[in-house]
Amino acid sequence: MPYLDRRLVPFLLGLLLVLAPSIVTQAQDTGALEGLVVNGTAGGPEVGAGVAVTLYVYQGDTEAHAFETMTGDDGRFSFEGLDTGAGLEYWPEVQYLGVPYRSTEPFRFDGDKATLAATITVFETTEDDSAVALNSVHFIAESFGEVLRISEIHLFGNAGDRTYVGQPGEDGPLTTVNVPLPETAMGIAFEQEDSAERFIEVEGGIIDTQPVPPGQETSMAFFSYHLVVMGDTVPLERTFAYPLTHLNVLAAQPGLQLNSDQLEMQGPQSFQGRPYDLYATDDLPANAPLAMEFVPVEVPGTDPAANARAEAAPPTGDQNVAAASTGGNQELLRWLGFGLLALAVAGAIVYGATRNRLPAAPGSAPSLSADPATRQLLAELADLEDAFEAGRVDEAGYTRRRSELYEAIRSLES
């Protein structure tokens, strides 16, 4: 048996440690994802070669990898050598005519499955919005004493077979759906991380820049704004630029009464363990006014500052989540895990988001809350809310400064 020089032992051990990861990688099971891109537009051309496909790999909520390839002549693509480990999700996405189309659900290597098959439907594009409609809109109204916060979730659909890509503007991007906003709205904030690039603020509302693909509830706008309480009631009139199939309004309880001849009371509902009164209506025509009136009701023995802090806290325990939706939006809300509604109801859309200012449209008239003094006060309010939640400001200082800011805002808006 050959003699092994002891001086080589440390070197060999170190070499083994370096090579071990690659040895494990080679030994692990690998699989493949094979896909086909098809055109969902009637009479549209077959998808051929040269269409970009990206495969996103997620471990939980974290993007772990992204692989890229191109379709072949028959519109097919494949990714090989994929890790089949548990907990990994694969999301293929296709870029066609400048529009991204992602699979509606993730792909996983469950059991002994070694090959995954994916079909992704793409569409031709159009600048005609006649097939666009609002499948559903959800309002969440909350009282913070001196102001009301209104959170809105708009779910757009497209009944055609072409993706609506919008109208070209002067020296600006293509713009798609229009969302009118009330004149009294202040401090517009968005839930989406890409809101600063996606939405454009114009006089009387906001315009989206993302396409609306065919299907039910294929595009969403999720935002909030504030209404200053100037008297005993807070009137709110809303219009929608597209026909609206179903509308829900959730008024937080206790502390907020809603009056409207156009909304029907559905009874109490519970979201994330918090009580709300649910109101609803169906089939609103485009541009038809919807009038409602909120009446803040002071609840004896409550502290608005403490309530605001409690509403921002994450929910705990088993909670009854009531589905304030109908028909087509069930699948989307289930896919979201009610997360978006829960965020709004739990107060996760807080004032800090108001600091993400929207770019003004070129040549547009003054926009909502354009007064620099008002915007500055709202920014200070956002900083104060963040500091209080982080524990950098005590409750006494928070309450005092919060009242001062609200009084200043009221004086500017009066």
Residues 6+ apart with CB under 8 A from 52: 68, 70, 94, 95
Residue 409's pLDDT band (cuts 50, 70, 90): low
Measuring CA to CA, which residue among 120, 124, 47 is closest to residue 90?
120
Give the per-residue pLDDT at 319.
Answer: 31
Read off the pLDDT of residues 288-328 as tens digits, 9 standing for 90 and up: 999 999 998 876 655 554 454 444 433 333 333 223 333 33
Give the per-residue pLDDT at 16.
Answer: 54
Measuring CA to CA, which residue among 152, 139, 141, 349 is closest to residue 257?
141
Q: How far apart are CA 111 and CA 1, in angstroms?
A: 46
Which residues sit opposite 55 in a β-bridge? 67, 92
Residue 144's pLDDT band (cuts 50, 70, 90): confident
Give the per-residue pLDDT at 228.
Answer: 87
Task: State mean pLDDT over 18-39.
Answer: 71
**Does residue 139 have a pLDDT over 80?**
yes
Task: State mean pLDDT over 337-341.
Answer: 42
Of residues 188 and 128, more confidently modeled: 128
Global pTM exceeds 0.85: no
Token pair listed for 227: 């209404």
Give the per-residue pLDDT at 219.
Answer: 92
The DSSP annotation for 104-129 comes to SS-B---TT--EEEEEEEE-EEES--
- Lowest-confidence range among 213-227, 237-251, 398-412? 398-412
Give the per-residue pLDDT at 87.
Answer: 87
The DSSP annotation for 264-319 comes to EEEEEEEETTEEEEEEEEEEEPTT--EEEEEEE-PPTT--HHHHHHHHHSPP-S--
Q: How many CA atoms lie within 13 A of 62 on its CB side?
A: 3
Residues 6+ apart with CB under 8 A from 185: 150, 225, 226, 227, 368, 369
Task: State mean pLDDT over 230-239.
Answer: 91
Pairing of strands 200-202, 205-207: antiparallel
CATH of 25-122, one of 2.70.70.10, 3.40.640.10, 2.60.40.10, 3.40.50.1220: 2.60.40.10
Which residues sit opposite 120 in a β-bridge? 37
**Does residue 7 have a pLDDT over 90?**
no
Which residues sit opposite 124 in a β-bridge? 162
Buried b (16+ CB within 10 A) or exposed e, 164-179: bbbeeeeeeebbbbbb
> Which residue type sits at 190?
F
Give the per-residue pLDDT at 29.
Answer: 81
CB 35 within 8 A of CB 117: yes
Give the range with max mean pLDDT: 83-87, 103-107, 116-120, 402-406. 116-120
**Does residue 262 have a pLDDT over 60?**
yes
CB 26 within 8 A of CB 109: no
Give the per-residue pLDDT at 141.
Answer: 93
CB atoms within 10 A of CB 59: 13
Coil/strand/helix, residue 18 = helix
Chain mean pLDDT for the chain: 77
**Does residue 48 have a pLDDT over 80?**
yes
CB 214 within 8 A of CB 160: yes
Q: How far apart are CA 68 and CA 198, in angstroms?
A: 25
Measuring CA to CA, which residue among 152, 226, 252 is closest to residue 374?
226
Task: State mean pLDDT over 56-75.
Answer: 91
Q: Which residues of the chain are in CATH 2.60.40.10 domains? A: 25-122
Q: How far apart are CA 154 and CA 190, in angstroms?
A: 12
> Which residue type sits at 126?
T
Give the per-residue pLDDT at 244.
Answer: 96
